[in-house]
A and B are shown apart, each in its own frame.
Chain A
Amino acid sequence: MQELLSSVVMLIGAILIVIAMIGTVRFPDVFCRAHALGKGLTFGLMVLLIGLWLDPYSEVSGLKIVAAIFFQFVTLPVASHLLSRLSYEKNLPRYRNPTSSPKE
């Protein structure tokens, strides 16, 4: 029963990661892509590691999985923020809504 729960949680994590990667492919802009990666992939990996923790037969100690989850939670938004800040400072081409009227 707990094995089935672990499989379901890992499948939810994999679906979240696929949704984040589809966002990385289909969004039109560097900023949108960094947004999709920094939120979706962080949450997907956390759910996936929690699913690994729930597995009854694995002999992985829980503290290492907590350390891995904490490391993902710290470093992935930092990397996404660094890339967004770099592309903002260098004024990379960004997507503008063609239907909205320009303010300038």
Chain B
Amino acid sequence: MSDLLFQIALILMGVAMLLGFYRMAKGPTVVDRILAFDAVVLCTVGLTALLSRWWQSEFFIELILIVSSLGFFGTVAFVFFLQESLPYGGDEKPHEKEEES
């Protein structure tokens, strides 16, 4: 019973990561892609927590701290880079494109 619930949780985390990859591939603006990248990194953190229980190992908790801090600093670096280089109003108009298609 416990193992079944745990495997359902693992499958759900995989589905969440696939949804993040879909948004990263489709995302209309650059900010959407950065957001999806942050979400995929945090799904990796969740999978690391699940596998740390699966393998009964104590070494993955440092990996959780390191990976989540890497995702956060990557997001902050992208935001400070885009504050200077992103044009006003964005470079794409996603809603008009969705209406056309």
Write the chain A residue with the least CB distance to B10: A14
CA of A34 to CA of B79 in the docked complex: distance in angstroms?
Answer: 14
For chain A, give the interface size range.
35 or more
Flag if A68 contacts B64 (CB, 8 Å): yes
Interface SS majority for chain B: helix
Question: Which residues of chain A have a CB within 8 Å of any CB of chain B?
Answer: 3-4, 6-8, 10-11, 13-15, 17-18, 20-22, 24-25, 28, 30, 33-34, 37, 41, 44-45, 48-49, 51-52, 55, 57-61, 64-65, 67-68, 71-72, 75-76, 78-80, 82-83, 86-87, 89-93, 95
User: Are A41 and B39 touching (Cβ within 8 A)?
Assistant: yes
| Nearest Cβ on chain B to A50's Cβ, whole angstroms | 10
Check if B35 sits within 8 Å of A58, measured CB to CB. no
